[in-house]
């Protein structure tokens, strides 16, 4: 079956469908990871986006029941160069194509993903439509131009849980608990409340493996109710959409600042910055992949990181009297992290839980444990 991709700049490409039949609109972006397509497609941060995979062969190891970041695919659509249906993996339970079809996700193969990626890098992420039905170019372009922009869009309401719940799942494949930063194997358990703005399951697995009892609450859960749970620390998760549009979450964080240790990742990093009255902006084409170099300014070490975001924090708007930039992206110099000088608060733009990898930044979870243990900012020794 044929499928068409139409982009808002007028580009129209024809390929072959391998997922569900139908039509989907979204922001077309690209991911440079060489593996981990199952984790990528189930990451709630991709809600509203059509993901182009730059690695040319996708589907060769199928789909399994363990390597998911949420219960179902979250992407609006999938674009690949070549789809491989005859997967080979002892853990696989079905093919990628059948899984996408079962979850009603439109996918297309046979497109020039190198050309699409270069176009997105040149002109920026843009709206697009994937269709297996309507083949009329003019009608497709009208639908694209009528679809919503990502700027100003609060998608946390779509992906967040509706009620608080306890995280009690164990993934047998998770790597072993690492010691705290002081070298201790302290088994003290911490009560953590995690704001679900589109949280990846591996974040909760990592918090659990470090000795946390995790309660997950909706993105807009009142700060007063979170404090009433008497947590040792508060975590603010990743998620989709424009951080500046999530105003209620920003107000909640303003209330929580100084009350408990706080750790933010990705959208959580941006929301914390906004709570400190900094500003965010939309990147031209975003950072998405498992190979982004980041420099830790506290240790002077380089980390290869997993990333997935289309917005960034403007470091010039961070209050230099109270906040310190801790990490910087070596590709484009954008902000990748900051911490408070006096309070136990820090956040990073990238994903230290990094499912499926790399794991260079897993140490950040031990920073969080240390903050909850001492109630003070982490002291970092080079």
| Residues 350/361, Cβ–Cβ less than 8 Å | yes
Look at residues 286, 264, 284 and name the one whose alpha carbon lies nearest to residue 275. 264
Q: Out of 309, 353, 359, 370, which one is annotated catalytic? A: 353
| Residues 84/56, Cβ–Cβ less than 8 Å | no
| Residues 337/49, Cβ–Cβ less than 8 Å | no
Q: Out of 269, 287, 309, 351, which one is annotated catalytic? A: 351
CA distance 157 to 161: 8
CA distance 243 to 313: 10
| Residues 233/207, Cβ–Cβ less than 8 Å | no
| Residues 240/159, Cβ–Cβ less than 8 Å | yes
CA distance 163 to 377: 31
Residue 90: other Cβ atoms inside 10 A: 7
CA distance 28 to 129: 8
The position carrying tokens 């694209």 is 144
Residue 87 known to be catalytic: no
DSSP run (H or E) holding 109: strand 106-109
Main-chain phi, psi angles of 371, to 5 degrees: -65, -40
Residue 266 known to be catalytic: yes
Look at residues 374, 376, 379, 372 and name the one whose alpha carbon lies nearest to residue 193. 372
| Residues 100/75, Cβ–Cβ less than 8 Å | no
Q: Out of 266, 287, 292, 340, which one is annotated catalytic? A: 266
CA distance 62 to 27: 25
Catalytic residues: 266, 351, 353
């Amino acid at each position: 079956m044929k499928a068409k991709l139409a982009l808002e700049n007028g580009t129209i490409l024809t390929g072959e469908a391998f997922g569900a039949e139908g039509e989907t609109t979204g922001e077309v972006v690209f991911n440079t990871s060489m593996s981990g397509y199952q984790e990528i497609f189930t990451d709630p941060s991709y809600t509203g986006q059509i993901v182009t995979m730059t690695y040319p062969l996708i589907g060769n190891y199928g789909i399994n029941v363990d390597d998911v970041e949420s219960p179902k695919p979250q992407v609006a659509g999938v674009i690949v160069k070549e789809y491989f249906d005859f997967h080979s993996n002892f853990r696989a339970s079905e093919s990628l194509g059948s899984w996408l079809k079962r979850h009603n996700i439109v996918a297309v193969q046979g497109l020039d993903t190198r050309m699409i990626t270069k176009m997105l890098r040149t002109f920026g992420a843009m709206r697009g439509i994937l269709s297996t039905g309507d083949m009329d170019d003019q009608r497709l372009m009208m639908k694209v131009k009528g679809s919503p922009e990502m700027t100003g869009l609060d998608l946390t309401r779509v992906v967040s849980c509706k009620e608080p719940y306890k995280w009690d799942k164990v993934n047998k494949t998770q790597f072993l608990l690492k010691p705290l930063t002081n070298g201790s194997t302290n088994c003290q358990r911490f009560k953590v409340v995690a704001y679900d703005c589109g949280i990846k399951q591996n974040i909760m697995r990592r918090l659990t493996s470090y000795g946390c009892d995790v309660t997950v609450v909706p993105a807009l859960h009142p700060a007063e109710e979170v404090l009433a749970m008497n947590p040792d620390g508060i975590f603010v998760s990743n998620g989709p959409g424009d951080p500046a549009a999530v105003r209620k979450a920003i107000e909640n964080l303003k209330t929580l600042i100084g009350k408990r240790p706080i750790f933010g990742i990705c959208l959580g990093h941006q929301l914390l910055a906004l709570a400190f009255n900094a500003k965010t902006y939309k990147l031209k084409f975003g950072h998405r992949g498992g190979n982004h170099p980041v420099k830790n300014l506290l240790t002077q070490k380089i980390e290869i990181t997993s990333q997935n975001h289309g917005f960034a924090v403007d470091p010039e708007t961070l209050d230099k009297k109270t906040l310190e930039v801790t990490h910087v992206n070596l590709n484009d110099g954008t902000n990748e992290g900051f911490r408070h000088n006096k309070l136990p608060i820090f956040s990073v733009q990238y994903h230290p839980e990094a499912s499926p990898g790399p794991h260079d930044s897993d140490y950040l979870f031990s920073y969080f444990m240390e903050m909850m243990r001492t109630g003070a900012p982490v002291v970092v020794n080079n």
